[in-house]
A and B are shown apart, each in its own frame.
Chain A
Amino acid sequence: MGNPGSLRNMFKRIGAKATIEADPEVIRYARKIVLPGVGAFDAAMERINHAPGLLEVLRGKALTERVPVLGVCLGMQLLTRSSEEGRLAGLGWIPGTTRRFPRQDGLKVPHMGWNIASPTTPSPLTTGIDSQSRYYFVHAYWVQVDEPSHSLMRTHYGLDFDAAIGRDNIFGVQFHPEKSHRFGMQILGNFAAL
């Protein structure tokens, strides 16, 4: 789901090899995993839960083997416990929840467009990112992590929320790095170098 092709293109442009896989048997051998996502929370979790063997392999790679994992957009929201968008549980690999943007005067939802995100907690994912870096966002739900140290980048739209999160080998970005020019390339480059 989502636009994995564009992510693969950007990885290719920066010299990293990336392939799009759905087969758990192939994913088993991955050195790093990117979870893309556009669409609805429940639809995504259902697909993960119901694809035979997929959830076990993903859990194994992320929590046991601890390969670097990057969730993009919906993929980042899937890393949390739950979302107001759906009824199913998320992967829960980073403690936090996903909530809907409030109905507020003048606040058009979804949050769609270019916004500035600034690094907070230092992390290898955000090397070279300064406080003026901008990214392309398109989402109607936002993430709040439980632990402040798991918040790697913050941004503001109606309220402050996490633009990027991370805990050990698990990372998530709310924006679309593959659609954010050199700013996105920096993030994907940092991830590829882990």
Chain B
Amino acid sequence: MNALRTRIIPVLLLLRESLVKTVRFGRFSYVGDPCNTVRIFNELEVDELLFLDILASREGRGPNLKMLADIADECFMPLGYGGGIRSLDDARSVFDIGFEKVAINTAAADNPDLLTRIAEQYGSQAVVASIDVRSGFWGGATVHTRSGRHNTRRDPVQWAMEVERRGAGEILLTSIDREGSWQGFDLELVRRVADSVSIPVIAHGGAGTVQDIGKVVKQAHASAVALGSMVVFQRQGMGVLVNFPEPQLIEDVLR
């Protein structure tokens, strides 16, 4: 029996120097200070944290290294960062600060070779391919980049297999339609992708209850689960409150 805990990963969105939370990659609400929030998750001993800078790609800039260094200082668990990483140098500067993984989204679609180069240098476990998926009007799901503004028209399963081939060690699969909705994960999408690759798939977008975590792991074969709204709001539509589900509850649904 391979007793690895299913990783439950808070995903925190950075907008300039603040933490925010979006709904369907659209309107956002202010959540708080990155360092303090990280400190809270550190105290709560969460498994891992992932930071995504939601404007970096759009604004054509790289990571805010000073802020990332401040964040890394507060963490004693694995950290990942995504947002505006376009070159090996960008990745290197993030690793040097103390992050374990980089998430590449737009840059990978423009230039898949980047995944290979980073994986060769740092190992594939350090490379997360971030895949954002949105359903079209007629129902077909396609991969989007540039924070959801550009439709690549690629099929998520085909693209997932491609990034695995190119050296990604994990996939962060985000359903744009479900993001911030609390409606549960897009189980069908997650299962199709998870069943087509051998690298871990982190399901992201839609978690509303601890039961959702159980479903996406057991029914959709996600290896890890990313939580957004659930860890920064008290309830759907209610106030900001940084929190994390109790370990016992998680254990119960994953049993």
Binding site for B on A (CB under 8 A): 3, 5-6, 9-10, 13, 38-40, 106-108, 110-116, 134, 136, 138, 140, 156-158, 176, 178-182, 184-185
Q: Which residue of A lies closest to B170 (CB)?
A: A112
CB of B20 to closest CB in A, whole Å: 26
B73 touches A39 (CB 8 A): no
A182 touches B45 (CB 8 A): yes
Given the interface contacts A136-B78, A158-B2, A179-B78, does A112 sit within 8 Å of B72 by beta carbon?
no
Q: Which residue of A lies closest to B77 (CB)?
A: A179
B contact face: mostly helix, strand, loop, or mixed: loop
Partner of A114 from B1, B47, B96, B97 at Cβ < 8 Å: B47
Partner of B3 from A156, A181, A182 at Cβ < 8 Å: A156
A178 touches B123 (CB 8 A): no
Of B76, B97, B198, which is in contact with the most chain A CB atoms at under 10 Å from its CB? Answer: B76
Partner of A157 from B4, B124, B125 at Cβ < 8 Å: B4
B212 CB-CB contact with A under 8 Å: no
**Known contacts A10-B76, A179-B76; 12 further A-B pairs (Cβ under 8 A):** A3-B98, A5-B72, A39-B122, A106-B2, A110-B124, A112-B200, A113-B224, A115-B4, A136-B77, A157-B4, A178-B76, A179-B78
Provide the residues of chain A in CB contact with B125, threshold 8 Å: 110, 112, 138, 140
Provide the residues of chain A in CB contact with B122, threshold 8 Å: 38-39
Partner of A5 from B42, B98, B223 at Cβ < 8 Å: B98
B45 touches A181 (CB 8 A): yes
A5 to B72, CA, bound (A): 9
Binding site for A on B (CB under 8 A): 1-5, 7, 42, 45, 47-48, 72-73, 75-78, 95-98, 100, 122-126, 169, 198-200, 223-224
Provide the residues of chain A in CB contact with B75, threshold 8 Å: 6, 179
A6 to B100, CA, bound (A): 10
Given the interface contacts A10-B76, A39-B122, A108-B198, does A115 sit within 8 Å of B100 by beta carbon?
no
A156 to B123, CA, bound (A): 22
B169 touches A110 (CB 8 A): yes
Given the interface contacts A39-B123, A108-B200, A136-B77, does A114 sit within 8 Å of B169 by beta carbon?
no
A114 touches B4 (CB 8 A): yes
8 CB contacts below 8 A, A to B, read A3-B100, A6-B75, A107-B2, A108-B198, A110-B124, A111-B4, A136-B77, A136-B78
